[in-house]
Amino acid sequence: MSDYIFDGCESEELEQTILNNKALPLIRELAFKYKLKVLKTVKSNDVADGGVNFVMAKSEGIVAGFPIGEVSYIIERTYKLGEEVYTDCFSYYSPYFQKSRGRTERDRRTIKIQKLASLMATIKRMDAIPEDIDIQNFQVDSMRDGYRRTAAHLGRVDRDSVLESKHIQALVKNVIDGSPVPTDMLHICKRQLDIFNAADKIESDKVNELKRMFATEFYAIGANRNGDMMLGTLRLETDFKQCSAYSSDEFKLIKPFKRIKSIEDAPEIIPIMTMLKVASEGSDRDRLCGIPTDAKFYPELDLVVEYYRYPDLYNFVWALTPC
């Protein structure tokens, strides 16, 4: 039975729950065909057998351990000729795909079919099992926003103009005619040059700081609302000319993500996580595995906390800091 449970999540209780549940054939098929394994169970009101959904994750690859879906054996309610009809079905849910129809957001991301073979065929046809890069990009959305938050904190690069159109016209005339520029015009040009030089200095300092934090290897420490904690390292590869990460950015995974039970499993992050705990004391926001759910840049720690979607089972809050 441990063949169906993610490494490190084994327990006698979970084994027995899987063994005695009607969703077992579906769990077995997903493990065989897609290398998915059970992380844990979560409560559900719709389930026919046991009242639980089994949270699944890839057991191999660079993003092994991230929750990607839930399976269960459910009671499907439909109406025929005005009467309620209840049917037992295998069910697969994932935020990584979406049908065109459904009563709710979750329903549009759920496949419910009586026959296991039909369900597996539908999963394949709809590409409902995400590729590793899709899972990585799903989480990188938060890291991209963390980069943007840091960039915004480091200052705005303004190149305001004190030259009015009449000044520009006069300068052009002086240049074309070869006549000397009046003293009052030189003073205005000097002010304009000072503004440009100051903006260049801010931009240069900003780019250098962003490179220091993100263009070298940085830790990505993530947590969700179910107590899952993930750790990996990445590097941002971009030209940094725009001081932003909207379209030209590329976050390269350096060390694949791994599940950790707590920061004690990763001694290298204990100091920074301890300092984050101290720095965020007094916040009324939730903490997930020690990470506050309050998107914020901590300049004194060289750390930014960010999330793209509000943390739940699949969406993580991330603490990013240079290695």
What is the model's pLDDT at position 62?
A: 93
Same domain? For 272 and 299 the reply is yes
Helix, strand or coil, per DSSP, at residue 170: helix
Within a domain: 13:
yes
Same domain? For 58 and 207 the reply is no
Same domain? For 140 and 122 the reply is no
Within a domain: 36:
yes
Residues with Cβ within 8 Å of 20's Cβ and at least 6 positions away in sequence, in order, are 50
Within a domain: 160:
no
Same domain? For 100 and 25 the reply is yes
Same domain? For 192 and 147 the reply is no
What is the model's pLDDT at position 246?
A: 47
Beta strands in the chain (DSSP E): 36-43, 52-58, 67-80, 83-93, 110-113, 218-223, 229-236, 251-259, 287-288, 291-292, 296-298, 303-306, 317-322
Considering only the C-alpha atoms of the chain, give the largest distance between any 2 of them, rounded to a whole number of Å: 94
Same domain? For 85 and 19 the reply is yes
Q: For 24-72, how does the pLDDT look when each residue is reduced to its tens digit (9 = 90+)?
A: 999 999 999 999 999 999 987 666 566 889 999 999 999 999 999 999 9
Among the listed residues 277, 276, 229, the one whose alpha carbon sits nearest the alpha carbon of residue 257: 229
Regarding beta strands 36-43 and 296-298, do their DSSP bridges make them parallel or antiparallel, or are they unpaired?
unpaired
Same domain? For 70 and 205 the reply is no
Total tally of structural domains belonging to the chain: 3
Distances (CA, A) of 269 to 15, 222, 278: 32, 12, 14
Same domain? For 38 and 180 the reply is no
Rounded Cα gap, residues 34 and 37, in angstroms = 9
Same domain? For 150 and 194 the reply is no
What is the model's pLDDT at position 45?
A: 67
Alpha carbons within 13 A on the beta-carbon side of 262: 3
Within a domain: 40:
yes
State the sign of the Cα–Cα–Cα–Cα dihedral 73, 74, 79, 85. Answer: positive
Q: Which string of DSSP letters, residue by residue, matches 261-276?
A: SSGGG-GGGHHHHHHH
Same domain? For 224 and 235 the reply is yes
What is the model's pLDDT at position 240?
A: 63
Within a domain: 24:
yes
Within a domain: 95:
yes
- What's at 51, amino acid-wise? G
Within a domain: 203:
yes
DSSP structural state of residue 72 = E
Rounded Cα gap, residues 224 and 312, in angstroms = 6
Residue 184 is part of which domain span? Answer: 165-212
Structure tokens at 218: 């940085």
CA angle 141, 199, 148 (to 5 degrees): 10
Q: For 250-289, how does the pLDDT look when each residue is reduced to its tens digit (9 = 90+)?
A: 899 999 999 999 999 999 999 999 999 999 887 778 899 9
Within a domain: 62:
yes
Task: Work out the burial of residue 67: count CB atoms within 10 Å of its CB; fewer than 13 is exposed, 13-18 middle, 19 or more buried.
Answer: buried
Among the listed residues 308, 279, 309, 300, the one whose alpha carbon sits nearest the alpha carbon of residue 291: 279
Rounded Cα gap, residues 113 and 125, in angstroms = 14
- Residues in the chain where the model's pLDDT stays below 70: 1, 45-50, 81, 239-249
Same domain? For 173 and 120 the reply is no
Same domain? For 119 and 189 the reply is no
Q: Which string of DSSP letters, residue by residue, matches 1-69?
A: -GGGB-TT---HHHHHHHHTSTTHHHHHHHHHHH-EEEEEEEE-SSBSSTTEEEEEEESSSTTTTSEEE
Rounded Cα gap, residues 178 and 195, in angstroms = 26
